Structure 1
């Protein structure tokens, strides 16, 4: 047997990959999958190669561990590698920070938790370690039954954190791969016992493992079917959660059916990958000045990420929500919104800021201290009343000391890594003596100007850009609504104006008397606090990619003050985290954006998909390596032949090896003529193919027994005719195995790896 055990290694890798399927319900988006699959492939390929070179099992496992760590460093340690290739102690420190971040994310987030750099690193490392354990136990140490332990641990670690019961297809693929791994190992062990004498009436030469394998398949499939069916028929205990953070949701996938949720964290360093036109809700509003529908508030900014502080909520008395703090001197209107088709999952509720009442049933909702309505049970439809303010410029005064406004100090906090640059930029944009409104207007006008470019893809770090994502955005002036909002919040905080980020949806597009909001309408915008008004919305994202900016936020010289485009059915309105499916987390840790209109660029496509293309190339090379080795082996044998007799003999041996690949194995010691009769009968050769085989045999006999120097014709074409005829009558699985794993190719690569000369008689050997 081949010591590399490529089939067993492939089954172990597939089992590890399949066992991670439940993780797709716990994190969103599934950006962790690609690096995880790469690490699984690295472990499998490294193990196969090392097993070929050495029989020392600890060395194989040590080599796989080293390759796993190095591959993880290349995938996740960019910017922390010496010469972009060699891990250093700084790489370990960076990994520690990211893993700490992952732990914090899991601890504070309900499923589905956001996929940030930390969680992606943590998940891919766990998957890679699982692949290492399964390959080492099941393939290197040849104990596939015990390999089920790390597979089961990995499966339970994610499955038990899902609020709902998982569908059978989450478990079946991994179970089938594990059963196949055990079955292959067991059949190999049975064959090693020897071949007993056939029973009377039995077929001579029958493989005794065939009936054993068939019985094993029946038992394995029956057991798997029972494991899937029985739990649906009997009651079971409630789910026990391993991680409290992921277990906070009553539904681990963020709501049932096609519900939508926005993430409670936003990473401003992330690009966008996709967008969806799935509808979120349908509503009508009495307001003529439509504003975004808010579902959450993020006020804590740390290391490039926004998140909501853990704050308490309360149930309003008589169902009345506290109105805005603005006094009666501020002009206002009471408007109404009627939502007829809601797909926003609990606890989030899409409502305009300033909501004062709602029709949600008593006991199913509450309000946070930030004024955000939350639902304990999602409602298909609801109505609400809200107040729209129309403030005058003089009502935006902040007073002499903004730190005494009674708001949380975190809404004035600046990030230390960017504080100096932010204050310097603020000094360039404003003058001493500017009012708070003038500061906010100047900052918004600067960000909405033509100096900035709206793009779903952030500028890539080429070694010259700042590592801090906010500073990188301010230098490259390229980003989407998350970056624009973050920049305005930090600039206004530097001016002493409390600021925070709101997340929700743009007003959507008209559909008759209704308006339809889609996934691609997800959006983020800043809210600034003024003592006489409370929290007020601003809009720094460029006008073509956001809703119209409020009139009070526009400078008198701002062209948008007289003509600001509003979203339409043909105007892109997305600036938030899109999702490839309606059950995914939309903000994607900052995933917000619209359609990229930059056109197709081959160079950019290759750059953006380098890892995927590299993976495809590796797969193609791996699949073609053995067939190429077979072709190369025949070429080498033909060149090494000193005369026609050696050339014909090499062609005959090559034909025998290829026929052995599909099961036609003449007994040892048979002559070419005897072998041809057995091959003709077993392979059901046609008359033409039989004649071709006869010519090959006649030439071989002439080569062996004729006088040296006798001229012999080439039998390559006849040998190819026989090979194709025999191959065409075999089962599809035998054809694929013969084409992808020919014995000639395996022998060549094995001889190269062992630094010895290959020969046609080189056979598979085990340890």
Structure 2
């Protein structure tokens, strides 16, 4: 029998190489999500290390479960080592490690794509890619389903593909496709080499690799090209969320950004900066409104689809009846380094002029960019706005009805049926005995600003949707403008008042002849509907801005209202109190500790290497035992030696699984071992014992059975009869290894 070439490429070698290349290509598909491409360096190192570990373990023919354990151990060690080189505050290394993942979640919730660099996000991406590597290997080699490997690989592609406002470039799909085709190519080569084993090759047969490559080229490349072509031809889907359409203009559906993400991010900027300046012909400044959130459900307040109309002349404000002497405001705005597709405008805008392509929604009077590079449409833009200041008089507003007939009533009137009872009960308690809708709204605003004990804070709090609203109203009692505005708009609907949440900027600070608006002036406030006035602004957030004069009830402790207070009730007015200007709580500088040039590669690689060395030492008995089993059953040598090697392997296996090797002849030993085994395993050990007797006492001996198969059947029987601790010990800490080592030491 010819000796086997152990240096030849094995089936598992091709699998490991194909999976490694496939995951490396797939990892690039996360680039549209972040501005930090440095995660690719760490993840590539991790994927290559995982590939090397898998390559070695597969060569030793170790079981799938131990290999999976080593892969996860390598992933955990590398991920922890990488965290040591990232800035994560004080505490022990394990606490900082966990904190990085928590901060990554908060960062992703507040950042639109592409996100700014953050150490936690980098660590999360690297760990996720390592997990994809392990799952892909399980699909390909663990359960022998290479075609299923598309599932973990495609999961990396689906993350940016399903993220709002992320335009996934064509090469992301190509990267996934090429990686997957590589795995299928390896499958084709492995299959074609296994199939003709033992069959004489034709002189015209040049091997399996060229055939597999030609098949991949003929089938795979056209499939990729066809898919890309169809992606350009098939129309974009026009649905977003649950039954809400995307804003539609002349050129088809547009994907709107979530303004609340910008709000959270900008309020937590480590440094305040001026993002726009404006001049106006009025004495006071103006709220600069950008977006409107009319939809309220269990997930919170959110955007709705809009039917956009191209143009710069807007219709009159919905529901507002023009009055003699209305204030017409003219404003010129200069935006600095600030990106958005929403155009900041005083409410209610009548017309505007500026460069770019714009369209508006008739119901909300929100103006959106519709041209190319929409996300940066307002950066460095200068434009002029003509608007009507809607400033109701207090007595008139107190007599107005909150008729449920705004043009978008299907969105701004319904109250969710699953709204928690405690929120409903609180609203009823605050508005009980009050008939006027405006006075109900004023009572809710006064409770949130003064009587409820709420404080302003930009610190991120847990929960979302109803849970976050309940935590804010009844437990934490602190939050920023989004919580205050959302809470008042919710309770207004319970009180029967149509409501929505507006997002934009506070008026800013006056500097001589102009006003300066900073990044931390971004703000959210509720808008409530009243007959004859349309949408009216309220201000429930304390410590941020003074409430409008028409929302202040005489006799309440309120801050200085905008303009002269015209209270609807004739009681004595308490003198207003001036409050200090709030300062948003600073957060650690984004991206700290992840500069590529200053990254402590030596420390990280040292810890990773130390972890790998410790893992290798712990696995050394298993590796050596597996290697010895492979050599015993490799089919080399004379028949008598092969039989004795198989018998020795059975003996060591009995010891590994916690048993004792009986005394006596091979037939007696085989009978005793077979007594506790299942039928196939008992038959296998009996056959092997008879073969041992013939090999020892017969003059001539031939092998007419598969010794490797017989031995593995015996091992399966021993494993099935053993307890779980014995099975684990047999794999990771084999007793026969130490038994044989002790005998060698004694003989020496």
TM-score of the superposition, structure 2-length normalised?
0.50
Kindly report which structure 2 residues correspond to 1:615-630, keeping only aligned pairs within 5 A, or say none.
624-628=610-614
TM-aligned CA distance change 1:360 to 1:302, over 3 Å: same
Shift of 1:455: 2.8
| Structure 2 CA distance for aligned equivalents of residues 150 and 40 of structure 1 | 14
Shift of 1:538: 0.8
Asked if structure 2 preserves the Cα contact closer than 8 Å seen for 1:268 and 1:305, the reply is no
Kindly report which structure 2 residues correspond to 1:117-156, keeping only aligned pairs within 5 A, or say none.
131=133, 134-136=136-138, 140=142, 151=153, 154-155=156-157
| Structure 1 CA distance for aligned equivalents of residues 237 and 114 of structure 2 | 13
Asked if structure 2 preserves the Cα contact closer than 8 Å seen for 1:297 and 1:370, the reply is yes
Shift of 1:627: 2.9
TM-aligned CA distance change 1:345 to 1:477, over 3 Å: same
Shift of 1:297: 0.9
**SS at 1:358's partner residue?**
strand
Alignment-derived partner of residue 541 in structure 1: 541
Deviation per residue, 1:561-593 (Å, 9 max, x gap) = 4345585xxx42xxxxxxxxxxxxxxxxxxxxx
Shift of 1:263: 0.8
Kindly report which structure 2 residues correspond to 1:196-595, keeping only aligned pairs within 5 A, or say none.
262-263=257-258, 277=272, 280-315=275-310, 319-323=313-317, 325-329=319-323, 332-341=326-335, 347-360=341-354, 364-377=358-371, 380-397=381-398, 402-403=403-404, 408-418=409-419, 420-449=421-450, 451-457=453-459, 459-460=461-462, 468-475=467-474, 476-509=476-509, 513-544=513-544, 547-556=545-554, 557-561=557-561, 562-565=576-579, 571-572=582-583, 594-595=584-585
Shift of 1:391: 2.1
Asked if structure 2 preserves the Cα contact closer than 8 Å seen for 1:52 and 1:750, the reply is no
Identify which range, 531-540 or 335-344, moves more after superposition.
335-344
Shift of 1:301: 0.7
| Structure 1 CA distance for aligned equivalents of residues 527 and 609 of structure 2 | 56
Alignment-derived partner of residue 753 in structure 1: 732
| Structure 1 CA distance for aligned equivalents of residues 53 and 400 of structure 2 | 66
Deviation per residue, 1:633-674 (Å, 9 max, x gap) = 99x9xxxxxxxxxxxxxxxxxxxxxxxxxxxxxxxxxxxxxx
| Structure 2 CA distance for aligned equivalents of residues 516 and 243 of structure 1 | 41
Identify which range, 133-142 or 171-180, moves more after superposition.
171-180
Shift of 1:543: 1.9
TM-aligned CA distance change 1:149 to 1:129, over 3 Å: same
Asked if structure 2 preserves the Cα contact closer than 8 Å seen for 1:403 and 1:409, the reply is no
Asked if structure 2 preserves the Cα contact closer than 8 Å seen for 1:436 and 1:497, the reply is yes
Shift of 1:537: 0.8
Identify which range, 506-515 or 470-479, moves more after superposition.
506-515
Asked if structure 1 preserves the Cα contact closer than 8 Å seen for 2:350 and 2:387, the reply is yes
Shift of 1:367: 3.4
Asked if structure 1 preserves the Cα contact closer than 8 Å seen for 2:291 and 2:342, the reply is yes
| Structure 2 CA distance for aligned equivalents of residues 628 and 125 of structure 1 | 21
Shift of 1:288: 3.0
| Structure 2 CA distance for aligned equivalents of residues 7 and 507 of structure 1 | 64
Asked if structure 1 preserves the Cα contact closer than 8 Å seen for 2:34 and 2:113, the reply is yes
Identify which range, 433-442 or 299-308, moves more after superposition.
433-442
Q: Mind listing any 5+ residue stretches in structure 1 that lack a counterpart?
A: 69-104, 114-122, 189-226, 251-259, 573-593, 600-616, 637-748, 763-767
| Structure 1 CA distance for aligned equivalents of residues 263 and 418 of structure 2 | 14
Larger Rg: 2
Shift of 1:12: 5.5
Shift of 1:25: 3.3
Asked if structure 2 preserves the Cα contact closer than 8 Å seen for 1:508 and 1:517, the reply is yes
Shift of 1:337: 1.7
Asked if structure 2 preserves the Cα contact closer than 8 Å seen for 1:266 and 1:305, the reply is no
Kindly report which structure 2 residues correspond to 1:176-215, keeping only aligned pairs within 5 A, or say none.
none
| Structure 2 CA distance for aligned equivalents of residues 536 and 140 of structure 1 | 63
Asked if structure 1 preserves the Cα contact closer than 8 Å seen for 2:402 and 2:497, the reply is no
**SS at 2:470's partner residue?**
helix
Out of 8, 19, 32, the residue aligned to residue 26 of structure 2 is 19
Deviation per residue, 1:109-132 (Å, 9 max, x gap) = x9889xxxxxxxxx9999799545
| Structure 2 CA distance for aligned equivalents of residues 541 and 6 of structure 1 | 63
Deviation per residue, 1:382-432 (Å, 9 max, x gap) = 111112133211221465673356660432322333353233212332341
TM-aligned CA distance change 1:458 to 1:555, over 3 Å: farther
Shift of 1:294: 1.3
Shift of 1:508: 3.8
**SS at 1:365's partner residue?**
strand
Shift of 1:48: 9.9
| Structure 2 CA distance for aligned equivalents of residues 159 and 406 of structure 1 | 34
TM-aligned CA distance change 1:479 to 1:340, over 3 Å: closer
**SS at 2:541's partner residue?**
coil
Deviation per residue, 1:10-52 (Å, 9 max, x gap) = 995896477355446369999x99xx99x999x9999899979
Asked if structure 1 preserves the Cα contact closer than 8 Å seen for 2:456 and 2:543, the reply is no
Asked if structure 2 preserves the Cα contact closer than 8 Å seen for 1:334 and 1:388, the reply is yes
Shift of 1:348: 1.6
| Structure 2 CA distance for aligned equivalents of residues 281 and 271 of structure 1 | 14
Asked if structure 1 preserves the Cα contact closer than 8 Å seen for 2:525 and 2:537, the reply is yes
Deviation per residue, 1:199-222 (Å, 9 max, x gap) = xxxxxxxxxxxxxxxxxxxxxxxx
Shift of 1:292: 2.5
Asked if structure 1 preserves the Cα contact closer than 8 Å seen for 2:318 and 2:534, the reply is yes
Asked if structure 2 preserves the Cα contact closer than 8 Å seen for 1:137 and 1:143, the reply is yes
TM-aligned CA distance change 1:516 to 1:176, over 3 Å: farther
CA RMSD after TM alignment:
6.7
| Structure 1 CA distance for aligned equivalents of residues 729 and 177 of structure 2 | 32
Shift of 1:287: 3.4
Identify which range, 348-357 or 477-486, moves more after superposition.
477-486
Asked if structure 1 preserves the Cα contact closer than 8 Å seen for 2:25 and 2:176, the reply is yes
Asked if structure 1 preserves the Cα contact closer than 8 Å seen for 2:247 and 2:308, the reply is no
| Structure 2 CA distance for aligned equivalents of residues 249 and 50 of structure 1 | 54
**SS at 2:614's partner residue?**
helix
TM-aligned CA distance change 1:298 to 1:401, over 3 Å: closer
TM-aligned CA distance change 1:13 to 1:424, over 3 Å: farther
Asked if structure 1 preserves the Cα contact closer than 8 Å seen for 2:160 and 2:166, the reply is no
TM-aligned CA distance change 1:365 to 1:754, over 3 Å: same
